[in-house]
Amino acid sequence: MNSIPMRELHPGAVPEMLALLGVCVDPGQKLPDMPLAERRIRAGQSLFFEGAPATSIYVVRAGTFKAFHTAEDGYEQVFGFARRGDLLGCDALSGDCHLMGTVALEDASVYVVALPDFYALAQSLPAFHRGVMRAVSGAMVDLTQLADMMAAVASEVRLARFLVHLSRRMSIGGQPSTFLHLLMTRRDIGSYLGVAHETISRSFAALAALRLVKVNQREVEILDLAGLQGFAQGTRTPVKASFGTAVAGLRPGRVLALAA
Amino acid sequence: MNSIPMRELHPGAVPEMLALLGVCVDPGQKLPDMPLAERRIRAGQSLFFEGAPATSIYVVRAGTFKAFHTAEDGYEQVFGFARRGDLLGCDALSGDCHLMGTVALEDASVYVVALPDFYALAQSLPAFHRGVMRAVSGAMVDLTQLADMMAAVASEVRLARFLVHLSRRMSIGGQPSTFLHLLMTRRDIGSYLGVAHETISRSFAALAALRLVKVNQREVEILDLAGLQGFAQGTRTPVKASFGTAVAGLRPGRVLALAA
DNA sequence: CGCGCGATTGAAGCGACTCAACGGCAGTGG
DNA sequence: CCACTGCCGTTGAGTCGCTTCAATCGCGCG
């Protein structure tokens, strides 16, 4: 139950972690050769539980995680998906325990940085500090974009924003970005976007009917990224519905059954 | 246009800023007496604009700010409200420019910390670093709670969560926490919670009809905080609607017109 | 092989959006 | 001093999309 699944020490892993955090450092610079604990998580396993005391922060090395919160009545609210280079556990720095749990959606690996080490490392290594601030700021941007997705009125627009978001995150990793392997269930996406999971299914069908994507279970291919981005622009009632300046024509307010 | 409204140097303001960030420091410890720029913002004025290059981060000393993003079609999405002790401008640390603008809802005052100074200060003063991490983590928690509010199905529940959230934030400042002076408009709240501003009006009326709050324009008095919190628990379909364990009885799924 | 879970699709009800009108308040300028 | 003009807040009525409940199908795993 409380046995740590797997843990090994990586001497000299600091450079890799800095690379994960997206900071460049002079090749000749002396780096503290602090050994870092690595922890491997199997798909479906939990990295840390909601309510657990904050002991460390984590840098995702491989795999994908889902961060969520479980209400008293059992409803599970998903707050985000973390991938390589993301920071996990920062929500506990302002309190004393984690406000959300984390499970791996696929086999994963993280660097575990104990809180004292974390502060010491940031103190002795400015590059690490900048990397952490970068990552934390990125997490805030992600949460902001989550609010932006949930702010969209139409569920198809929410899903379109989600797919564009995923595609963008993939592309900065250098990958194709038009083929998406969704590791989360429809229910997870629905919780993330604030709609029922059946609505996610229907929205996928709607986007597919518009020839914007091709969907087969969890395999999603973006057929028209520009069109999808235009579609994702749809917002709540603008100040003055300014058609005429529309980018390409695909800018639906509510009309989209015409393509069925 | 580009003239900074007001700016003065505060020698020895570092201790106050540390207090704002919620860190305790030994009274005898030597603090770098770095002069800090203070900037005063009048109500309705902007602290920084969306898209502006990131030059500094800001610590709110007094007043209230609204952070928002304006879409191409003019729709304004509100992402949060910042108060004393909050950090502003962190969203730009991962990119190079601000992703959202900030306006003061009342006369306000902030400490301006230029980015180089920011990193230098965090380097030389661990307490500042911890304070920043605390504040940043708190901002992430706020964004998480925003997602939580928007996840509620019923608009009255969203508003109830918002009021509970505000009350909690007030109470940590030591203030009464049952009287709320809303500085934002109904439209701002609606944008924040993802509903139309008319719905906010109606939801206020509904909560007032349930005797949970008393509302008069922007003056809100919480009559039954426990009841409001119970009401705010209402979520999307739980795994198994478990009545019987309800706290007090006020746990509505959809029924609330019965008290009109 | 059967069980359970995820995904899809259908049908029905209702709640929020939208458009609209009205009263109140503040700031402005004649 | 007082119209005038926005903006904010409230309330009403109608439409429509999402939720909810339900059934079905496919797939992986014990």
Each residue's pLDDT expressed in tens, for chain A with a length of 260 residues:
444 555 678 777 899 999 999 988 777 777 777 778 999 999 999 999 999 999 999 999 999 999 999 998 889 999 999 999 999 999 999 998 999 999 999 999 999 999 999 999 999 999 999 999 999 999 999 999 999 999 999 999 999 999 999 999 988 867 668 999 999 999 999 999 999 999 999 999 999 999 999 999 999 999 999 999 999 998 776 544 333 333 333 344 444 333 32
Instruction: Give distance CA B44 / C1' D2 (Å).
Output: 28
B139 lies within 8 A of chain A by CB = yes
Nearest-10 crossing angle of helices A186-193, A197-209: 100
Which of B150, B52, B132, B147 shows the shortest CA–CA distance to B100?
B52
Q: Do A144 and B91 touch (CB under 8 A)?
A: yes
Under the banding of pLDDT at 50, 70 and 90, the label for residue B59 is very high
Whether A86 and A60 have beta carbons less than 8 Å apart is answered as: yes
CA distance B137 to chain A (A): 5
Answer yes or no: is pLDDT of B106 > 90.
yes
Whether A14 and A36 have beta carbons less than 8 Å apart is answered as: yes
Which of B52, B86, B38 shows the shortest CA–CA distance to B66?
B86
Both tokens of A166, joined, read: 């995923």
Which of A135, A14, A144 shows the shortest CA–CA distance to A82?
A135
Residues 6+ apart with CB under 8 A from B40: B5, B6, B107, B108, B109
Q: Which residues face B215 on adjacent strands?
A: B220
Tell which A residues from 219 to 238 touch B, by Cβ distance under 8 Å.
233, 235-238
Please give the model's pTM, rounded to 2 decimal places: 0.90
d(CA B143, CA A146) in angstroms, rounded, equals 9
User: A95-109, A198-212, B128-142, B230-244 — which is least confidently predicted?
Assistant: B230-244
Q: Do A119 and B99 touch (CB under 8 A)?
A: no
List the Cα angle A153/B231/A74 in 5-degree steps: 75
Residues 6+ apart with CB under 8 A from A210: A227, A231, A250, A256, A259
User: A161-165, A246-250, B115-119, B183-187 — which is least confidently predicted?
Assistant: A246-250
- Site from A66, A137, A146, A168 to mutate, B interface, most B CB atoms within 10 angstroms: A137
Residue nearest to nucleotide D16 (CA to C1'): A254
pLDDT computed for residue A13 by the predictor? 85
Under the banding of pLDDT at 50, 70 and 90, the label for residue B132 is very high
pLDDT computed for residue A241 by the predictor? 36
